[in-house]
Amino acid sequence: MDLLLHADDIHASYDQRRILKGIGISLYRGEILGVIGTNGAGKTTLMKVLAGSHQHDAGHIMMAGERYSPESPEEARACGVGLIPQNFRLDPELTVAKAIFRGTFQAAKSHAELRAQALELIDGIGVSMDPDAKVGTLIRAEQALVEVLRMVAEEAQLVIMDEVAASLPDHDVAILHHVLRMLVGQGRAIIYITHRLDEVRSIAHRIAVLRDGKVHRIVDASQTSVDELTFMLLQQKLQDTARPADPADASEVLQVRNLAVGDVVRNVSFSVAKGEIFGIVGTHRSGVYQLTEALVGIRPSISGDIFMHGNKVEIRRLEDARRLKIGYLSDDDDNLEPQASIVEGLQQSSEDTQATLQAEVSQLRGVIELVRRMRINTTNIHGSLTHLSGGDRQKVQLARWMTTDCDVLILSHPSRGIDIGAKEVVYKMLNELSQTGVAIILLSSDLSELVSWCHRIAVMRDGELVTIEANTNTNEDVLVHHMLGGTPALGATMARRVKA
């Protein structure tokens, strides 16, 4: 095989803290290398070094047989290396054609000039997409494909993908995987970072396991299992957890009757009981997001009723939801102050300016316990949040909401970007929270997570709630059938189970 990339003894630091401690990897043309590791293991730092947005302190990198040490993303792109970051954001006003070519020498051309080339690239990877469409009208999976097409337009030979599929439904992951296999078939190489261990086994040829800033092992994806990968990451086996039964307390906290939102959600009715973890799932065009946003006042409903504790309520703004003690962590929630410390990110705001020293010490102890329980990788709770990994920032967001005083807590993809060990901690914390009587509504594209965590699961399709499945009566295949109205062409649940 033709060696494309070789990195040897790479060291890198942030804020005088050593993150990478001698990493070495090789990558061949036509290969997909999966990279996994717990939050803070150094995955994103390594990718930033390769993509030119962070300089390494020591070690050397060879790219296509030549010394490679980019000082900027632009220089990396010129050398054929492209990065699609975890939380990529596209200008919603760009057309698909303009978005594809925005990082190339043709970026200044008009949409009309780029349209034919964009259509040729779209046809080349075998997907259906309108080059005239505005990026803002696309679902997340389609935006991810636009980013992949950008890599092709930039003639990237090494494509780095950092948790790009973290919140995508399984059938969208399957389409993305299909496109990536086409790219490596053209002789490109891909580094694919994910916390979904079943997914990385299905897409990668080899898997590099990072631990504490070093490569612990590199294994053949077809010769390993999820359990083996989990043990390599955590150095211990995860405890088996029983699927949840119906909550003991059946009293309703939230009830929704015949709710309609715009022209995308119609006549939705359901209720959530005290202490229940209630899952909601659907494709990105099912109306699931619009429904959730109506429950928290981001998007107005046009008809139907919402009841809290049996009383009819009006929710027209986020402030209305907060007043009713409804909390909401959205998909892209990252409202932490950039210069805030970890302590400030985890502490609850208080109007008590006369807090005693004992109260402050007690609160700090609570922060330390949260950091320990959620496996947030830091040596200084007064350090800046900007120095945390993306997954650890997500943990801070999640922990902050889970320690608020809510009657209903709505969480959208709460485990996005969180490693498998921390997921188990989140599940335990959600259970503990539900046992205090909080009703939890959980949106997730990870069907196995829903089945493992939720008492009941509602499925949205084409703007309607088509079924509510009790945990004891359902599985992933049943949920996919209801989501898509039939058996998916590319095998939705196969995307993260089968090595192709």
pLDDT class for 335, splitting at 50, 70, 90? low
For residue 313, is it within any domain?
A: yes
Q: Which H helix or E strand runs over 215?
A: strand 214-220
Check residue 91 and give its pLDDT.
Answer: 94
Q: Which residues are CB-contacts of 223 (< 8 A; sequence separation ≥ 6)?
A: none
Whether residue 322 is found in the same domain as residue 229: no
Angle, in degrees to the nearest 10, between helices 170-185 and 476-484: 90
Asked if 284 and 462 touch (Cβ cutoff 8 Å), the reply is: no
Chain centroid, CA 143 distance in Å: 14
pLDDT class for 424, splitting at 50, 70, 90? confident
- Enter the tokens of residue 288: 């699931």
Check residue 336 and give its pLDDT.
Answer: 57
Whether residue 208 is found in the same domain as residue 267: no
HSE-up (13 A, CA, CB side) for residue 361: 3
Q: Examine the fold and report which residue of 181, 206, 234 is the final residue of a domain before the chain moves on.
A: 234
The SS3 assignment for 499 reads coil
Closest C-alpha to 50, from 87, 15, 82, 13: 82
Percentage with pLDDT > 90 across the chain: 56
Q: In terms of C-beta distances under 8 Å and separation of at least 24 residues, what long-range contacts does 261-265 make, across chains too? A: 261/287, 261/290, 261/291, 261/293, 261/294, 261/299, 261/300, 261/301, 261/302, 262/290, 262/299, 262/302, 263/463, 264/290, 264/463, 265/290, 265/291, 265/294, 265/463, 265/464
Q: Which residues are CB-contacts of 214 (< 8 A; sequence separation ≥ 6)?
A: 21, 22, 23, 42
Buried b (16+ CB within 10 A) or exposed e, 151-164: bbbbebbbbbbbbb
Q: Examine the fold and report which residue of 207, 234, 261 is the final residue of a domain before the chain moves on.
A: 234
- Enter the tokens of residue 350: 């208080």
Check residue 363 and give its pLDDT.
Answer: 66
pTM of structure: 0.80
Least confident stretch, 126-140, 205-219, 302-316: 126-140
Average of per-residue pLDDT values in the chain: 86
The SS3 assignment for 48 reads helix
Q: Examine the fold and report which residue of 171, 199, 234 is the final residue of a domain before the chain moves on.
A: 234
Whether residue 348 is found in the same domain as residue 205: no
Asked if 136 and 93 touch (Cβ cutoff 8 Å), the reply is: yes
Asked if 436 and 452 touch (Cβ cutoff 8 Å), the reply is: no
CA distances from 349 to 75, 341, 363, 414 (A): 43, 14, 11, 22
Q: In terms of C-beta distances under 8 Å and separation of at least 24 residues, what long-range contacts does 93-96 make, across chains too? A: 93/134, 93/135, 93/136, 94/134, 94/135, 95/131, 95/132, 95/133, 95/134, 95/135, 96/122, 96/129, 96/130, 96/131, 96/132, 96/133, 96/134, 96/135, 96/138, 96/146
Q: Which residues are CB-contacts of 95 (< 8 A; sequence separation ≥ 6)?
A: 111, 131, 132, 133, 134, 135
Containing structural domain, residue 196:
3-234
Most confident of 42-51, 283-292, 392-401: 42-51
User: What value does the CA radius of gyration of the chain take, rounded to a whole number of Å?
Assistant: 23
Whether residue 276 is found in the same domain as residue 391: yes
pLDDT class for 231, splitting at 50, 70, 90? very high
Residue 113 backbone dihedrals phi, psi, to 5 degrees: -70, -30
Whether residue 355 is found in the same domain as residue 465: yes
Residue 444 backbone dihedrals phi, psi, to 5 degrees: -155, 145
- Classify strands 311-313 and 303-308 as parallel, antiparallel or unpaired: antiparallel
Most confident of 7-11, 127-131, 352-356, 469-473: 7-11
Whether residue 275 is found in the same domain as residue 224: no
Domain count across the chain: 2
355-373: pLDDT as tens digits:
577 766 776 777 777 777 7
For residue 478, is it within any domain?
A: yes
Model confidence at 486: pLDDT above 70: no
Mean per-residue pLDDT, 389-409: 78
Whether residue 216 is found in the same domain as residue 320: no
pLDDT class for 298, splitting at 50, 70, 90? very high
SS3 content of the chain, % helix, strand, coil (to 5): 35, 25, 40
Check residue 350 and give its pLDDT.
Answer: 47
The SS3 assignment for 114 reads helix
Query: Greater confidence, 457 or 399?
Result: 457
Query: Greater confidence, 138 or 379?
Result: 138
DSSP assigned state of 492: G
Whether residue 217 is found in the same domain as residue 323: no
- The torsion defined by the Cα of 165, 82, 230 and 471, in degrees rounded to 10, comes to 0
The SS3 assignment for 302 reads coil
Q: How many Cβ atoms sit within 10 Å of the Cβ of residue 428? A: 13
How does DSSP assign 430-485, residue by residue?
HHHHHHTT-EEEEE-S-HHHHHHH-SEEEEEETTEEEEEEEGGG--HHHHHHHHHT
Whether residue 176 is found in the same domain as residue 41: yes
How many angstroms separate the first and last alpha carbons of the chain? 20
118-175: pLDDT as tens digits:
999 998 888 889 999 999 998 888 899 999 999 999 999 999 999 888 878 777 888 8
For residue 92, is it within any domain?
A: yes
Alpha helices in 4-132 (DSSP H): 43-51, 73-78, 96-100, 111-124
For residue 240, is it within any domain?
A: no
Whether residue 117 is found in the same domain as residue 180: yes
The SS3 assignment for 334 reads coil
Asked if 141 and 172 touch (Cβ cutoff 8 Å), the reply is: yes
Check residue 348 and give its pLDDT.
Answer: 53
Model confidence at 387: pLDDT above 80: no
Check residue 421 and give its pLDDT.
Answer: 79
Check residue 496 and give its pLDDT.
Answer: 35
For residue 499, is it within any domain?
A: no
For residue 340, is it within any domain?
A: yes
pLDDT class for 53, splitting at 50, 70, 90? very high
Whether residue 217 is found in the same domain as residue 268: no
Least confident stretch, 246-255, 281-290, 318-327: 246-255
Model confidence at 112: pLDDT above 70: yes
**What is d(CA 157, CA 179) in angstroms, rounded to the nearest whole number?**
15
CA distances from 272 to 116, 296, 297, 439 (A): 50, 15, 18, 7
Q: How many Cβ atoms sit within 10 Å of the Cβ of residue 92? A: 12
Whether residue 111 is found in the same domain as residue 259: no
For residue 343, is it within any domain?
A: yes
For residue 239, is it within any domain?
A: no
Q: What is the CATH number of the domain that holds 164?
A: 3.40.50.300
Asked if 1 and 170 touch (Cβ cutoff 8 Å), the reply is: no
Model confidence at 246: pLDDT above 80: no
The SS3 assignment for 211 reads strand
Least confident stretch, 93-97, 202-206, 231-235, 440-444: 231-235
Percentage with pLDDT > 70 across the chain: 90
- Across-strand partners of 66? 63
Model confidence at 339: pLDDT above 60: yes
Q: Identify residue 305 by its one-letter amino acid code.
A: D
